[in-house]
Amino acid sequence: MRFKDYTVIVTGGGYGIGKEVALAFGREGANCVLAARSQAKMEAVAAMLRKLGTKPLVVPMDVGSEEQCAEMVQRALAQYKRIDTLVNNSGIAGPTKLARDITHAEWMESMDVNLNGAFYCAKYVSGPMMEAKRGSIVNISSVAGRIGYALRTPYAATKWGMIGLSHSLAAELGPYGIRVNAILPGPVAGERFDNVVSARAKAEGKTFEQAMEQWVAQVPLRRQVTELEVAEAVTFVASEAASGITGQAFNVDGGFRMQ
C-alpha cells in the first residue's frame, strides 16, 4: 500500500489512461480526486474506487478554466487536508488535418485542455505542496512530444509543451522536495487510439486496418502498449521508489522511437 491515505488528483480520470491511473492508485490506498467534464464516467470509476475501500471525490470541471482548476484544488484540500500527487492526464486528440486548415478555435481548444489545464492545476497544487515540502506531479505527455507529427500539429505542440513544463517545474519546485516528471505513452490500445487511427486513415485515404498496421510496424514489440502499463509507470514515478527522480520524461511506447 505505497499510497495509503495519500490524496491523488487525476484529471481526465473518467476513462482510458486516467481511469487506469486512478484505479492503480486506489488499489494502493490512495483517495483519488477525479476531475474532468465526463461526470457519469467519473462516477462509475468512483464506485470502483469505493469498492477498494478508498474515498474518492468527483469534481466535474473544465481544466481549460483557471478558475475551475483553483476551485477543484480547494475542494480537494477541504476534504482531505493534503495533496500528495497531481496527475495531469486530461487531453484531447485535436484535429487531424493540415496546419493551414486548422481553425483558431481548434488550436485554442487543444492548448486549453492539453497544456493550459496542466499548468493551472500545477500552479494551484504547488502552494500546498511547497508548504508541506513534499509532493509529486506527473504530466502525461506523448511520444508526439518528441517527434514531428504531420496532420496533428496542435496535439504535438501541446505534448512538446508538457515536457518543457515538466522540466521547468522540476527545477523550480525541487528545492521544496517536489518532484515533477512526464510520462510519454506511445500507441495505447483502446477506443481513443482507434479514433486517432480512424481519423488518420480517412485523411490519408487508407483503410483503418492499413493505418493501424502502419503504426504497429513502427513498434519493436509489435503491439500497442496498454493503459495499465502506462498507469504502472505513473505510480512508479510518483512513489518513494523514485524519490531521486525528477525532471525526466519517460517513454512507455514499446520502443516506438527506436525505429
**What CATH number has the domain bearing residue 114?**
3.40.50.720
pLDDT for 259 equals 44
Give the pLDDT of the chain (259 residues) as one tens digit per residue: 899 999 999 999 999 999 999 999 999 999 999 999 999 999 999 999 999 999 999 999 999 999 999 999 999 999 999 999 999 999 999 999 999 999 999 999 999 999 999 999 999 999 999 999 999 999 999 999 998 889 999 999 999 999 999 999 999 999 999 999 999 999 898 888 888 889 889 988 999 999 888 888 888 899 999 999 999 999 999 999 999 999 999 999 998 865 4
* Residue 195 placed within a domain: no
194 is a domain residue:
no
| pTM metric for this prediction | 0.94
pLDDT (0 to 100) of residue 192:
82
Look at residue 193 in the predicted model and tell me its pLDDT: 85
Predicted confidence at residue 46, as pLDDT, reads 98
Cβ–Cβ contacts within 10 Å for residue 132, how many?
14
At 66 the pLDDT is: 98
Of 6, 124, 155, 176, catalytic: 155
Residue 52: strand, helix, or coil: coil
Nearest to 234 by CA among 11, 5, 43: 11
Q: At CB < 8 A and 24+ separation, what contacts does 142-148 make?
A: 142/184, 142/185, 142/186, 143/184, 143/185, 143/186, 143/251, 143/253, 143/256, 143/257, 145/182, 145/184, 145/249, 146/184, 146/249, 146/251, 146/257, 147/257
Q: Edge to edge, what strands does the sheet with 85-88 contain?
A: 57-60, 31-36, 7-11, 85-88, 135-140, 178-185, 249-252
Position 53 in a domain = yes
On whether residue 250 sits in a domain, the answer given is: yes
| Structural domains of the chain, count | 1
117 belongs to a structural domain: yes
Q: Which structural domain range is residue 121 located in?
A: 7-187+227-258
pLDDT value, residue 257: 67
Q: Do the domain assignments include residue 207? A: no
Residue 2 is assigned to a structural domain of this protein: no
User: Catalytic residue at 155?
Assistant: yes
